[in-house]
Amino acid sequence: RAQAPATNLRVGIFVDVPNLVYAAERRKLQIDFGRVLDFFTRDRELVRASAYAPITDDPQAKLENQRFVQHFVGHPYRIITKPLKRFADGSMKANFDIELAIDILTMSDRLDVVVLMSGDGDFRRLVELIASRGVRVEVAAFSETASAELKAVADRYVDFGAHIEDFKILKK
Query: Tens digit of pLDDT for each residue in 30-74?
Result: 899 999 999 999 999 999 999 999 998 787 888 888 889 999 999
DSSP structure class, residue 100: H
Averaged pLDDT for residues 162-166:
89
What is the pairing mode between strands 156-159 and 136-141? parallel
Query: How long a stretch of residues is the chain?
Result: 172
At residue 169, φ and ψ (nearest 5 deg) are -70, 130
pLDDT for 2 equals 56
Q: What angle do CA 46, 15, 161 make, to 5 degrees?
A: 100
What is the model's pTM? 0.89
Where do the H-state alpha helices sit in the chain? 17-26, 33-41, 97-107, 124-132, 148-153, 164-167
Contacts of residue 97, defined as CB under 8 A and 6 or more positions apart, other chains included, come to 16, 120, 122, 123
Could you report the per-residue pLDDT of 88-132, keeping only the tens digit for each? 887 777 788 999 999 999 999 999 999 999 999 999 999 999 999
Is the pLDDT reported for residue 10 higher than 90? Answer: yes
